[in-house]
Structure 1
Amino acid sequence: MLRSVLAALSTPARPARRLVLYVALAMLALPAPVARADIGAWIVVDMDSGAVLDQKQARRQWYPASITKLMTAYLAFKAIREGRATLQSVVTISANAYAEPPSKMGFKPGTRISLESALKIVIVKSANDVAVAVAEAIGGSEPAFIAQMNAEARRLGMSATRFVNPHGLPDNRQVSSARDLAVLARAVWREFPQYRPYFSLPGIRVGKKTLRSANREFLLRVQGANGMKTGYICNAGLNVVVSATRGGRTVMAVILGAASGVERAAKARALIDAGFKERGGRSVDQLAGVSAKPPADGYCKRNSRPKAEELLAAFGQKTRPSSVLSFARGDLNGGGIRRSIVAAPTPTAFGSVELLAVPKRADGKTDWAKVMDAVIGPRRLAYEAVTVSTAAPRAAVAPRILEGKPLPVPGTPKPVAKPLAAAAELVSVPDVAAPVAAQQAAKPGAIFRGEPLLIAPIPPQNPRP
């Protein structure tokens, strides 16, 4: 390559061509690029048919973080459907719930709110204390509710999943996968359409507080966006389940391990847009199993946040990289090139490369609102918070607990000391869906053929805050 560039420089050429060659020569002198870790795993699914439209490591175990609360909400919705609760049922904040670390509401023990308000707070604010209160109201106790979570996961065929708490706070025993979370999200969406508006709320007002959803930029900027739930702990990175409806069709994506909120929303937009262009694919129900272990501890510390230049290069909807020449301005102090294209000071075309500028504010700093316009899309909806009452009706009563003790679930762990649970050796996730597994064996899918299944116990890991 170096010889070719030097030979080209020794021959007569137009100034523009010689400038391109000098850039190429400078790039060869730079240190080898240090690649930033890609998003860990994802899956894109048609909500109606269940067809998998795209995936990357969809069966790899991952820490679900606050996406766990989809199961908490699902069990509450089931209790309402079965007549054991209503939206006006009382949820009481216990001392156990009050002890949960943030994100939380901080309601004092004894505070009574309606189940409807509790669910909106759990979904939008992702409040851990309220999630535990809901679990205690529906299950009778937190351990009983966790047993119900695992029993429901088994019934749904979530073969890579084990729950140890109802909120998703760090505990390395609590694992799932992009595929399993897609199965859960699809069950919530299809079985309880009346509660879909809860997942599309960009913010809520509780008393004097205005609480914004971490998924609000996706909800306000992406065409047809209507859900669902975000999550974050350091060992998982930033996770999200998103959905959008266009032309009567709904596409859902699960993303695990993004490095920033903007990257998470931009990737979600890109996957959703691409998903609407696809139709076929194997059913998500046929992908039971585990393909890899969860990420090592400290995932968020190893996966640095992408710069504005990187986001614009990867997701900028106005960027059109050339097949003839793609080059980057190297950062000699930072390890060299990080992406094939970076932004120029102003939008311009260099040779056959179109570069997208990093928008700046008057003070010279990056204008992140305009970056989001470019990588997620301009806001289509105005932000509007919905008022949520914290006063439970006087005549309301607590949900009715299932009669008798819940059926024991093999391998269901008990919650341990808060805020962090000591890591214990993970027991292999039980084979939870024999009919699904048999169907998969009988009809092997081309896009997943040859992917090894991991059935050995996952080694212990030390959780970090």
Structure 2
Amino acid sequence: MRQVLAGIAHRTLLSCRSTLVLLLALAVSGAAVAPSHASAKYAAIVVDANTGKTLFSSSADAPRYPASLTKMMTLYLTFEALASGELKPSTKISFSKNAAAEPPTKLGVKAGGSITVETAIYSLVTKSANDAATALAEKLGGSEDGFARQMTAKARQLGMTGTIFRNAHGLPNPAQRSTARDMATLGIALREHFPQYYSYFSTRSFKYGKQRLANHNRLLGRVKGVDGIKTGYTRASGFNLVSSVSDGNRRIVAVVMGGQTAKSRDAHMAELIRTWMPKASAKRGGGDVVAKASKESGNSPIRALAALLPGKNAPKPPARAEEEVVAEADEPATTEMTEQGDAEPEAVEQAYAEPIPARMADIDPINTASVPASGWSIQVASSPSEVEARAFLTKTTRQAGGVLADASGYTVTFSKGGVTYYRARFGGFETKNDAWNACKSLKKKKIECYAVQ
């Protein structure tokens, strides 16, 4: 009998040791996918969209600035209005002076002009157009402030307890906050509640007038299974990205906030997808995973939703939310770009000495692109400040008109004298002649540039 008991005890000890080893291995594997030099702005989460289970999280409940991820909620309420019949894809959206005055990125519709709801949707999911977001807000909420209250109320109904919205576009406002967990909630809700409209998020580009507008989300078509959702950047937030990914029956939603560069953010997102997609469930839990997620433990990715969110669309919120926070002023203007010696053979660097408007310097340029893998590019400036280099991309895009319609703005770093500089470039030119011709057109607009490969 003693031998039997001893054997049981021995096997139990081995089992406990094995379990401990497994738990330690899982803890190490989870930590391994966090960036080794993450900034204080960093937060991330990966959620199994079939079960609502959290697969990975880091600072997922810490307050962060959502930047253009805000437009996900703008689109949620737009889709809700389409589903209810309040709007149609062909409904005209007028641009007020307020909407037309929003800084880039934007469509550039003049005050008094209009576009269709569908064009506005495409402009938000691809170009992340701030003017179109405000125009939708004024259409649906009566005013930008009114719509922001609706957005916050909807966030509460979806269980996004850490989110406050103050505008429809995500331009800097210190009172506008969210969390990685809340953004995952919203990402799942968009697909769960509006499958008939979700395909908009996978749009690679769309034509507006004579322009072909590319999607800012560079993982579309480059990382297997990625079908949306949204990028975002402000100086205060860092580089943000929400990704929805499908692989057979497995589905996840991943969020990265506070990336130091667009390239590192995208690389980290790709690593999260590669690491955690195989661990996602291949079995659908049944019903609305957003509503059912609250049945999990305290580590639920979307807590306390069952009582708040019905199986289909959440009810449209009242005109006013239940909480008010006084918004502070936008951040002050940034410093000017200074000249520096980055001379190359046959190269002329352009220094940007004009003061950059505060809101322009704080937002995404025309693309949050990584460095193009091939083809020709043109360089228009360089600076020791990435913010200012990217602001110059925005300024150049606006001045260039249709010359850069098919180009993608990005920055490239180089070091000189112990200082890191950022080259501002536009890629996407197939041949040297294409790049040269673009430069010729830009020089006629008094924008200096040169072609590089």
Q: TM-score range by the shorter chain?
A: 0.5 to 0.7
Structure 2: runs of 5 or more not aligned: 1-35, 282-295, 306-314, 333-357, 363-453
Tell me the C-alpha RMSD between the 2 structures: 2.6
Out of 390, 405, 410, the position equivalent to 2:323 is: 410
Q: How far off is 1:228 after superposition?
A: 0.4
Separation in 2 of the partners of 1:269 and 1:403? Answer: 35
SS in 1 for 2:253: strand
Where does residue 46 of structure 2 map in the other structure? 44
Call closer, same or farther: CA 1:404–1:193 in 2, change over 3 Å: closer
Contact 1:243 1:272 in 2 (8 A): no
Separation in 1 of the partners of 2:300 and 2:238? Answer: 27
Where does residue 169 of structure 1 map in the other structure? 171
Separation in 2 of the partners of 1:37 and 1:140? Answer: 40
**Residue 250 of structure 2 corresponds to residue 249 of structure 1:** yes
Where does residue 240 of structure 2 map in the other structure? 239
**Residue 76 of structure 2 corresponds to residue 59 of structure 1:** no
Separation in 2 of the partners of 1:43 and 1:150? Answer: 21
Call closer, same or farther: CA 1:274–1:141 in 2, change over 3 Å: same
Q: Which runs of 4+ in 1 moved over 2 A?
A: 35-39, 279-283, 402-405, 462-465
Where does residue 276 of structure 2 map in the other structure? 275
Contact 1:185 1:241 in 2 (8 A): yes
Call closer, same or farther: CA 1:156–1:149 in 2, change over 3 Å: same
Where does residue 209 of structure 2 map in the other structure? 207
Where does residue 190 of structure 1 map in the other structure? 192
**Residue 285 of structure 2 corresponds to residue 285 of structure 1:** no
Where does residue 318 of structure 1 map in the other structure? none
**Residue 89 of structure 2 corresponds to residue 72 of structure 1:** no
Q: Output the amino acid matched with 2:144.
A: E
- Whose relative contact order is higher, 1 or 2, with alpha carbons under 8 Å and at least 6 apart? 1
Contact 2:137 2:143 in 1 (8 A): yes
Q: How far off is 1:198 after superposition?
A: 1.0
Contact 2:237 2:258 in 1 (8 A): yes
Call closer, same or farther: CA 1:100–1:142 in 2, change over 3 Å: same
Structure 1: runs of 5 or more not aligned: 1-34, 289-401, 423-461
Where does residue 122 of structure 1 map in the other structure? 124
Q: Output the amino acid matched with 1:237.
A: G
Call closer, same or farther: CA 1:127–1:404 in 2, change over 3 Å: closer
Question: Which deviations, in whole Å up to 9, do the C-alpha atoms of 1:237-286 show, x marking residues without a partner?
Answer: 10000111111221110000111222111111111122212247853123
Separation in 2 of the partners of 1:287 and 1:146? Answer: 23
Q: How far off is 1:404 after superposition?
A: 12
Q: How far off is 1:80 after superposition?
A: 1.4
Contact 2:150 2:318 in 1 (8 A): no
Q: Output the amino acid matched with 1:409.
A: E
Separation in 2 of the partners of 1:40 and 1:212? Answer: 27
Give the alignment's TM-score, normalised by structure 1.
0.56
Call closer, same or farther: CA 1:254–1:404 in 2, change over 3 Å: closer
Separation in 1 of the partners of 2:95 and 2:135? Answer: 5
Separation in 1 of the partners of 2:71 and 2:317? Answer: 25
Separation in 2 of the partners of 1:412 and 1:186? Answer: 27
Pairing of 1:389-428 with structure 2 (within 5 A): 406-413=319-326, 420=330
Contact 1:179 1:287 in 2 (8 A): no
Q: How far off is 1:88 after superposition?
A: 1.4
Where does residue 266 of structure 2 map in the other structure? 265
Contact 2:146 2:320 in 1 (8 A): no
Where does residue 434 of structure 1 map in the other structure? none
Call closer, same or farther: CA 1:405–1:154 in 2, change over 3 Å: closer
Pairing of 1:6-17 with structure 2 (within 5 A): none
Separation in 1 of the partners of 2:206 and 2:246? Answer: 23
Call closer, same or farther: CA 1:405–1:186 in 2, change over 3 Å: closer
Q: Output the amino acid matched with 2:172.
A: P
Larger strand percent: 2
Call closer, same or farther: CA 1:100–1:164 in 2, change over 3 Å: same
Give the alignment's TM-score, normalised by structure 2.
0.57
